[in-house]
Amino acid sequence: MTNPAHHPLGHWIGGRIIPGTGETIPVTNPADGRVVAEAPAGTAAHVDQAVAAARAAFPGWAATDPAERAAAVRRIAEGLQARAEEIAVTITTEMGSPIAMSRTAQIGFPVAVATSFAALAADFAWTQQVGNSLIVREPIGVVGAITPWNFPLQQIVSKLAPALVAGDTMVFKPSEVAPLTARILAEVTAEAGLPPGVFNVVYGTGDVVGEAISAHPDIDMVSFTGSTRAGRRISEVAAQTVKRVALELGGKGANVILDDADLAKAVDKGLMMAFANSGQVCGAWPRMLVPAARHDEIVALAVAAAAQYTVGVPTDEATRLGPLVSEEHRRKVDSYIERGIADGATLVFGGPGRPDGLDGAYARPTIFANVDPDSTIAQEEIFGPVLTIIPYTDEDHAVAIANSTMYGLTSGVFGEPEHALAVARRLRAGQVDVNGAPWNALAPFGGYRQSGNGREFGHLGLEEYLETKSVQR
């Protein structure tokens, strides 16, 4: 396994590489602290250049038949699959995802999403007759996309694929923490035959490039995935030009285990949904809600299962949990663990500090029991491998706890199928899995409350990138 070469990246604008000017941003491997690449610190002028390229390419791409646009997205999916190993190694290097996960979820999800959007074009209702009106669905224009580091390819493909099928062009800012995959994606789009300017990449920080994208008068929509704090700022800036804003933000998902659940299955799946990607998942379930009478039994199951989550170097095939994305983030997660101890939660597994023998940005998978549902660790998004087990007295109490945070992105319910479905309907979250149901690339994904607005995936995800015109005749 070889790491990506340590060399400066260039912006991708108008179908060609534009060298950075001035400062660069180091890209660090969180497993060992080594600088593996340098990304250009883009400026507002680079955003202007990319927007001009996207605006110039828009009329031609919007006029392309949807079937041809879908075919291009299908070729992008094929191109990503052809470079799967390179992408996996790159993601493992830039943000620490275990290589086994990088080879499956980190590449498998975006390929599945792109393929699903390509398939939607054929039966999508691009026009509809309603009385004497022709309802026309048209591309919104130039889309600004801003994504985080935890799933660096998945997050952008979830925006790029529907935007391309819709007929939009795009200016993309990847996370400065994990920007390397964007270069591969740009090359794949060119090989797939996208006209120059349809897809553009500007590297840089949120304070500079993200602000410029959000404020730009020639960008018609901003699609953002990231923290709720950053989402608020993007909304404020974008409001000055009254552009559409789609936000997929933070989460604090609850795994509600009912009295009639298969406890072993509920705990195993719940632990995976709390610890996967070292807990750095907005759709994680870091809260496990359990019947008070079975609290100790479930805690014992969780502790036994947690022992199977091997923490190690991300290039090792046996590693289940790699490092956190940075030393700064590791310290933040540690501070939450220490806060949980100080607030009186019962530490039953893990704790603060690095695992023995590991010197990078590693955290110990941690479980707290008897957690107060109003405590800091039960309310705030930790974004690390920390599970809080919260007892409830009855079903109404469980639903109240599940709905008690400012978030509403994902949740799970385990129990007798109809019983679990009834509880799932009461949860204020955009996605609820019943008894560990499999992921569906065609089902809409998005949040309630401060987990965001808008939806990704499926028909609703495509509609986010379209305008609606009514023609009376």
Tell me the mean pLDDT per 10 residues along the chain, length 473.
59 95 93 95 97 98 98 98 97 97 96 97 95 97 98 98 98 97 97 98 97 98 96 97 97 98 98 97 97 98 96 96 97 98 98 95 98 98 98 98 98 98 98 96 96 96 97 97
**Are 427 and 256 spatial neighbours (Cβ–Cβ below 8 Å)?**
yes
Q: What is the pLDDT of residue 8?
A: 63
Pairing of strands 386-392, 10-13: unpaired
Sign of CA dihedral 120, 456, 167, 200: negative
The backbone torsions φ and ψ at residue 52, rounded to the nearest 5 degrees and listed phi first, read -60, -40
| Cβ 110 vs Cβ 78: under 8 Å | no
Q: Quick one: 277 exposed, middle or buried, by C-beta within 10 A (0-12, 13-18, 19+)?
A: buried
Q: Which of 38, 94, 176, 282 is catalytic?
A: 282
**What does the alpha-carbon distance between residue 326 and residue 335 come to, in Å, rounded to a whole number?**
14
User: What residue segments make up the domains of the chain, in order of their start?
Assistant: 10-249+450-472, 254-440
CATH topology of domain 10-249+450-472: Aldehyde Dehydrogenase; Chain A, domain 1 (3.40.605)
Cβ neighbour number for residue 59 with a 10 Å cutoff? 10
Alpha carbons 12 and 100: distance in angstroms, whole number: 29
Sequence-ordered list of residues with C-beta below 8 angstroms from that of 128, at least 6 positions apart, any chain: 134, 135
Token pair, residue 371, equals 């957690």
CATH class entry, domain 254-440: alpha beta
Residue 22 pLDDT: 84
Given a contact cutoff of 8 angstroms between Cβ atoms, the answer to whether 365 and 350 are in contact is yes
Rounded to two decimals, the pTM is 0.95
Give me the pLDDT at residue 6, please: 47
Strands 254-257 and 35-40: unpaired
Q: Which residue has the tokens 């509920």?
A: 266
Active site (annotated) includes residue 248: yes
Report strand pairing: 142-146 vs 169-173.
parallel
Question: In 158-171, which positions are buried (b, 16+ CB within 10 angstroms) versus exposed (e)?
Answer: bbbbbbbbbbbbbb
Largest CA distance in the chain: 74
Q: Which of 176, 248, 381, 456 is catalytic?
A: 248
